[in-house]
Amino acid sequence: MDSSNKKRVAIIGAGPSGLAACKHALAKGFVPVIFDSGASVGGVWTRTLASTKLQTPAAAFQFSDFPWPAGTSEFPSHDQVLGYLTAYARKFGVLECVKLGCKVVGAEYSGASEKEVTAWDRWSGNGEAFGDGSGEWHLTVEHIESGSIQKYEFDFLIVCVGRYGVTKIPTFPPNKGPEVFHGKVLHAQDYSHLEDHDAAELIRGKRVVVVGSGKSGLDTAAECAEANGSKYPCTLIYRTANWMVDHKLTWGLNVSKRTTTRLAELMVHKPEEGFALSLLATLLTPLSLLGWKLGLLPDRFYDLVDEGSLVLNKCDSFSFCADGLVLDSGKRVEADVVILATGFNPDQLLRSVFTSPWVRDIVSGASSDTMLPLYRQVDSLLLIITSFFIFAIQNIVHPRIPQMAIVGYLESRATIYPYEMMSKWVAHLLDGTVRLPSVKDMEKSVGEWALWGQGARRRSGSLFLKSCIATVTTWYHDQLCRDMGYSARRKKGFVAELMEPYGPTDYADIQ
């Protein structure tokens, strides 16, 4: 596109997805601007515990054309991950595009009215990224250090805010919540945002209770237990037991490799798969009565339990009292500090970007939906052996929201090359290579993905929408490859295509 450098592209978020989106837009001749409220690039990786490590091997958590430095540990620490992302941004000229300390407090489309937009037969009016050139996005940006507000106009908007910005806090009956507790209550995200010295002072010599057994809950509990030892043991309150393994057990990696092959893909029910593949997936579905979630434990987790530095308590519900918590069994757990590792409200974060109530309502669909109502999406990062369903939300464009894409709205931080594939697709959309179907056909595709998501929810039950190991991602990448004009078959020979695992480097030639 000869006029690419004249088109204004904005990206909200300088995490892995924002960095990838910028890199590939630059490769197509655009000069994007990234807005991020943080002090450095890296997204959630700039605000993690010192003990946090990747859940997946480095070879799987990488961009296709940017390998890790020689000597990187198999499961890199958060510092190594942050260094990797920063080096990627530096090498490809992304750092020059970033405006740090700049929070987008409002994004509003200016052009056709909502009534006109809903009547369009083609996305953006003509099926092209920039429409007919009359529409644009107006961004209101707060400069955090000065508090000043500035307005910007762009021809295309890429939203890369992720899912981890708005914390989820449990609700309690009157006089049963944090208001009756005499100690300190905070969310795990707030704890991870503290400076190391402040975090150490908060928990030193304190009875700490961590609520939640997700990745952040386990990491936080292990860190508190290491700090205080058995004299002031940390208590972990959890509702559901997950299958967790030590990262040194390399046999777990074989599971990951097997689930990213074409053979494993045949065992998976996929949207728009047709009768033959649906029948084959049903026949090949293994272990139909068995299911689990898999994750990696922090270092020395069970050693801390054996030493008495970490106490595990299972319960379905709890309430606060003056000196701690009361479990549903009636047991009291004394505490000075309670850290809630209770997750996030991802849709609230996404909706908050937009000024228009109409866009807020349609961008994430109904709250009961299993996935966003966006074209070219897949749910893909949960290993559920009951049906080999893989789940985590990936999506790109909304059929009714013009000149905008969403990249990296994922349930998992365990891998990043799907962000890169989405970014490549968006870059090809920007330069006119990707041609979108009619709005009607896009909405039909969205509906089929939604039906598939509902089926995944029924099959997976309590394991729904948690992240672990990818398989359906390859099926999704096949669609993106075809859209961009590339072959979906990335291996050499039939046997290799069927049996070898797919990973980031298989897509390195797509630029």
3: helix, coil or strand? Answer: coil
Give yes or no for residue 301 having a pLDDT over 50. Answer: yes
| pLDDT greater at residue 346 or residue 300 | 300
Q: Across residues 247-275, what is the average pLDDT?
A: 67
Domain architecture of the chain: domains with CATH: 4-165+345-507 (3.50.50.60), 178-246+297-340 (3.50.50.60)
Write out pLDDT tens, residues 127-139.
999 999 999 999 9
Q: Across residues 234-257, what is the average pLDDT?
A: 67
Write out pLDDT tens, residues 23-54.
999 999 999 999 999 999 999 898 888 778 88
User: What is the chain's mean pLDDT, rounded?
Assistant: 84
- Predicted pLDDT of residue 265: 78
Please provide the distance, in angstroms rounded to a whole number, between the alpha carbons at the two ends of the chain.
15
Give yes or no for residue 347 having a pLDDT over 70. Answer: yes
403: helix, coil or strand? Answer: coil
Q: Across residues 411-439, what is the average pLDDT?
A: 87
Q: Across residues 253-269, what is the average pLDDT?
A: 70
473: helix, coil or strand? Answer: helix
| Helices (H), ranges, 53-129 | 78-91, 114-119
Question: What contacts 30, CB < 8 A, 6 or more positions away?
Answer: 4, 5, 7, 9, 427, 430
Distance CA 434, CA 428 (A): 6
Distance CA 268, CA 137 (A): 39
- Predicted pLDDT of residue 458: 64
Give yes or no for residue 467 having a pLDDT over 90. Answer: no
Going by pLDDT thresholds of 50, 70 and 90, the confidence category of residue 234 is very high
Q: Are 102 and 141 in contact (CB under 8 A)?
A: yes
Q: Are 187 and 339 in contact (CB under 8 A)?
A: yes
Q: Across residues 484-488, what is the average pLDDT?
A: 94
Give yes or no for residue 401 having a pLDDT over 90. Answer: yes
Give yes or no for residue 376 having a pLDDT over 60. Answer: no
Write out pLDDT tens, residues 48-91.
887 788 877 888 899 999 999 999 988 899 899 999 999 999 99
Going by pLDDT thresholds of 50, 70 and 90, the confidence category of residue 457 is low
The torsion of the CA quartet 227, 228, 233, 238, rounded to 10 degrees, works out to: -20
Give yes or no for residue 405 having a pLDDT over 50. Answer: yes
Question: What contacts 43, CB < 8 A, 6 or more positions away?
Answer: 13, 14, 15, 16, 17, 18, 36, 85, 162
Q: Are 442 and 272 in contact (CB under 8 A)?
A: no
Least confident of 163-167, 225-229, 357-361, 451-455: 451-455
| pLDDT greater at residue 430 or residue 416 | 430
Going by pLDDT thresholds of 50, 70 and 90, the confidence category of residue 371 is very low
Highest mean pLDDT among 272-286, 442-456, 486-500: 486-500
Give yes or no for residue 449 having a pLDDT over 80. Answer: no
- Predicted pLDDT of residue 345: 84
Closest CA to 295 of 176, 193, 215: 215
DSSP 139-185: EEEEETTTTEEEEEEESEEEE---S-SSB------TTSSGGG-SSEE
Burial environment of residue 325 by CB neighbours within 10 A (0 to 12, 13 to 18, 19 or more): buried
Distance CA 155, CA 7 (A): 6
Question: What contacts 222, CB < 8 A, 6 or more positions away?
Answer: 51, 298, 299, 300, 301, 304, 310
Distance CA 128, CA 429 (A): 8
- Predicted pLDDT of residue 111: 93
CA 342 to chain centre: 16
Quick one: tokens of 395?
């999506």
Closest CA to 456 of 444, 445, 464: 464
The secondary structure of residue 104, as a DSSP letter, is E
- Quick count: other Cβ atoms within 10 Å of Cβ 319? 16
- Predicted pLDDT of residue 391: 31
Closest CA to 12 of 41, 27, 30, 33: 33
- Predicted pLDDT of residue 44: 87
Distance CA 321, CA 179 (A): 9
Give yes or no for residue 469 having a pLDDT over 60. Answer: no
Q: Are 247 and 51 in contact (CB under 8 A)?
A: no
Give yes or no for residue 205 having a pLDDT over 60. Answer: yes
239: helix, coil or strand? Answer: coil
What helix, strand, coil percent values describe the chain, rounded to 5? 35, 20, 45
The residues that bridge with 316 in the sheet, in sequence order, are none
User: Would you tell me the crossing angle of helices 16-27 and 78-91 to the nearest 10 degrees?
Assistant: 20
Write out pLDDT tens, residues 140-188.
999 999 999 999 999 999 999 988 878 899 999 999 999 999 999 999 9
Place of tokens 């065992």: 267
Q: Are 36 and 18 in contact (CB under 8 A)?
A: yes
Going by pLDDT thresholds of 50, 70 and 90, the confidence category of residue 414 is low
Give yes or no for residue 463 having a pLDDT over 70. Answer: no
Give yes or no for residue 232 having a pLDDT over 80. Answer: yes
Q: Which helix (H) or strand (E) holds 256?
A: helix 251-258
Closest CA to 359 of 347, 344, 376, 377: 347
- Predicted pLDDT of residue 246: 60
